[in-house]
Amino acid sequence: MDDIVTVSGLGKRFASGFTALRSVDLSIRRGEILALLGPNGAGKTTLISSICGLTTPTSGEIRVGGHDVVHDYRKARALVGLVPQEINLEPFEKVINTVRFSRGLFGKPRNDAYIDEVLRKLSLSDKRESKVIELSGGMKRRVLIAKALSHEPRVLFLDEPTAGVDVELRKDMWRVVRALKDDGVTVILTTHYIEEAEEMADRIAVINDGEILLVEEKAALMRRMGQKQMIIELQEDVTEVPPALAGYDLHRNDDGDLVYTYDAKADRTGITRLLSDVAAAGLTLRDLQTRQSSLEDIFVGLVGKDPA
């Protein structure tokens, strides 16, 4: 699969002197759904704004469909749609005009059939003539999506599309995003809901403190989630994994316990052999615990805090 967006060595330092992005490298594959996870202030919105050409990078390069977002702004911008984190709609404008106007801003000829189709897909047809101010918060979010789709972008960025949205509407939103993917649109979404990333994403990227910590296939992450850890508490103090046990996927945690990571779904977990080798190495068990690692654990392990 080829890449529709490439970000290399992207840095962003604001006028205040604050560095929000540090040498970010990220490739987004054509047609994928990529979830960008990270705590508040991690740099998600700054990264998205930079790709959409709304924030000027301090260093590095961003290409969308091969076009440099700084030097070839118009061509790059025409390919992307952005659903911003903040609702920024004209309250007294009608839904249909809001969406039509947005298309016009990109210099696209009027196409009511396309706009009507977008409204239909977002279940907004019956709100076509309503003023924005008359809509509920969730409907306003849909209008934001309709606006972002008005110029037929190939890449859609959704910055927290389901923040403050009820479960029903969130599921609706997921349906919309899947339908977009089926139409060949590449989707990047930021979210604080880990289950949303689990549900939707082909790949998951984790950002913290302006750095990308991980980009991984969701399926691979799920396999990692299928892993379990066995914590082996010993009577003896060990300062490192004993050489006799070097063949196992073991590490020593801060409490001086040995932690064995294994695939709970495997035919052979290796536990029996490990425990007999622990005894053979002259070590005595004090206690044993097992735990399942989740995507949330992986996230917390990476960034040291909950997903905001």
Ligand X SMILES: Nc1ncnc2c1ncn2[C@@H]1O[C@H](COP(=O)(O)OP(=O)(O)OP(=O)(O)O)[C@@H](O)[C@H]1O
43 contacts ligand X (rule: CB under 6 A): yes
- H or E element at residue 178: helix 167-182
Give 68 or 211: the residue with its C-beta nearer to ligand X: 211
Pick 40 or 272: Cβ nearer ligand X: 40
Among the listed residues 34, 45, 124, 135, the single contact to Mg ion using CB under 5 A: 45
| Residues 305 and 296: beta-carbon distance below 8 Å | no
The answer to the question of residue 239 lying near ligand X (CB under 6 A) is no
Nearest approach, Cβ of residue 45 and ligand X (Å): 3
The token pair that represents 230 in the structure block:
């066995």
Q: Does residue number 44 form part of the binding site for ligand X (CB under 6 A)?
A: yes
Judged by CB under 5 A, the stretch of 39-47, 178-186, 237-245, 297-305 that binds Mg ion is 39-47
Amino acid in position 293: S
Q: What b-and-e string marks burial along 255-287, b requiring 16 or more CB atoms within 10 Å of the CB?
A: eebbbbebeeeeeebbeeebbebbeeeebeeee
Among residues 86 and 255, whose Cβ is nearest to Mg ion? 86
The reply on whether position 40 binds ligand X by CB under 6 A is yes
Specify the stretch interacting with Mg ion by CB under 5 A; choose among 41-49, 102-110, 126-134, 172-180: 41-49
Nearer to ligand X, 84 or 242 (CB): 84
Distance CA 286, CA 98 (A): 67
49 binds Mg ion (CB under 5 A): no
User: By the 8 A CB rule, do 263 and 227 touch?
Assistant: yes
**3-state DSSP assignment of residue 230:** strand
Q: Which of residues 138-177 bind Mg ion (CB under 5 A)?
A: none
199 CB burial (10 A radius; 0-12, 13-18, 19+): middle
Residues that bind Mg ion (CB under 5 A): 44-45, 85
Residues that bind ligand X (CB under 6 A): 14, 16, 18, 20, 38, 40-46, 85, 308
